[in-house]
Homo-oligomer: A and B are copies of this chain.
Amino acid sequence: MPMLFGMHPHQDGPLARLRRGHEDLVLELLRKHGPLSRAELGQHSGLSRTTLSDIVTELIESGAVVATAPEAAPRRRGRPVEALTLNPSAGQAIGIDFARRAVHVSAVNVAHEVIGSASEPHDPGLPWEERITLAERLVGTLADGALRLGALNAIGVGVVGPVGDPDSGPPDPCPSADLTALLRKRFEAPVLVDNNTRLAALAEATWGAAAGGQDVLYLRLSHGVGGGLVVGGSLHRGAYGLSGEFGHIAVESGDGRCSCGATGCLETVASVGAMLAAYRRAGGHADGLAALLGALAAGDPVALRTLEAAAVHIGTVLAAVCNAVGPGVIVLGGELAAAGPPLFEPVERALRAHIMPISRDRVDLRPATLGEAGGALGAIALVLHESPLLSHYPARPG
């Protein structure tokens, strides 16, 4: 369960599940057929008058459904009939990604279309209050036009680092609880928080390189190395909110101390910083990632060898995870993925060498397509999935 505030809790008993199913059905019928009378809803849904009345009352109270004025002309027999319809200004959601060095925001309308995105880089040390103000300003630029903040169904938020279960609390001190309260107050909407790399995985499996994929492994090669798993069509969080930590799998020759406290993690050889350091140790000159990518593009053999050495470790870790979870698609994202074939080719060779031979041709390695907007879009996917209005999304895209 992602951390959920402000929305009514869904107990998991059979009655609660049934009620949720009834709500979903009514909303799906309205989305499919357009406005319907209560009698028509009753026929289509098979629900009793009493049950349907309860469901409709709750949906109207939540703002998801509106009862439109009876038509001017009376129907064939009897009094004019009230029509129920989806609230056109409901179901909008925004996603905010509080990345390490930038804030990204995106918004969708009730038809699940992305109606705008905005980004702004900032200093890694920017205090949380200012990051939130920045997010608010960016969201404001989206609202200038299509987005109606008053109808916000929920806000999805991505943050760096682990996000714990609501029951047990986050696994480490992290700002997500305070952040949630602040955002909830400023936007007057429920807030869902999850790890932004995991959200990028969800976005790639929903709208990106693995759209529609039910079993997807996403690896992000950036200043940190992380990832996410979509398992059987659902984003996987693990028992304590720490799944997808591929950057902390030990690699053969790794002996560097990692930020996580362990040694020999993939991150110590495959992060942007680790690759720049290795390039410099090998005699290369690059003051940052752009210069390293430039050297790769220019065919600098030292840069290519540096990348290949890391790629072997990346492919080996991917093979281990593939043997464990059997994904159909692997998506490589993050700034380093921009290196293209000089990265992908050796990663793929190492992957094929270490994966079970029977699986070799069953998994597809692809570059991410959503870029830096992935976290914010994933936050929206998270919200749409949790929202009763859009609950069939993104598990069943389209």
Contacts and interface: CB of A to CB of B under 8 A. Distances in A.
A15 B262 CA distance: 50
Nearest to A227: B324
A215 B238 CA distance: 6
Contacts of A49: 48
Interface stretch (A148-156, A242-250, A303-311, A374-382): A242-250
A249 B324 contact: yes
Number of copies: 2
B328 A240 contact: yes
Contacts of A241: 326
A50 B43 CA distance: 11
Interface in A323-357: 323-329, 353-357
Interface in A157-197: 162, 171-172
Interface stretch (A19-27, A71-79, A108-116, A278-286): A19-27
A238 to B, nearest CB: 2
Interface in A242-291: 242-246, 248-250, 252, 260-262, 264
A398 interface: no
Contact of A250 (B51, B319, B329, B363): B319
A237 B326 contact: yes
A20 to B, nearest CB: 9
Interface of A: 12, 14-15, 17-18, 21-22, 24-25, 28, 42, 45-51, 54, 162, 171-172, 213-215, 229, 231-232, 234, 236-246, 248-250, 252, 260-262, 264, 316-317, 319-321, 323-329, 353-359, 362-363, 392, 396
Given A15-B25, A249-B319, A262-B353, 17 more contacts: A46-B50, A172-B358, A213-B239, A229-B325, A231-B236, A238-B326, A238-B327, A239-B363, A242-B326, A243-B324, A244-B326, A245-B326, A250-B319, A250-B320, A261-B356, A264-B354, A321-B324
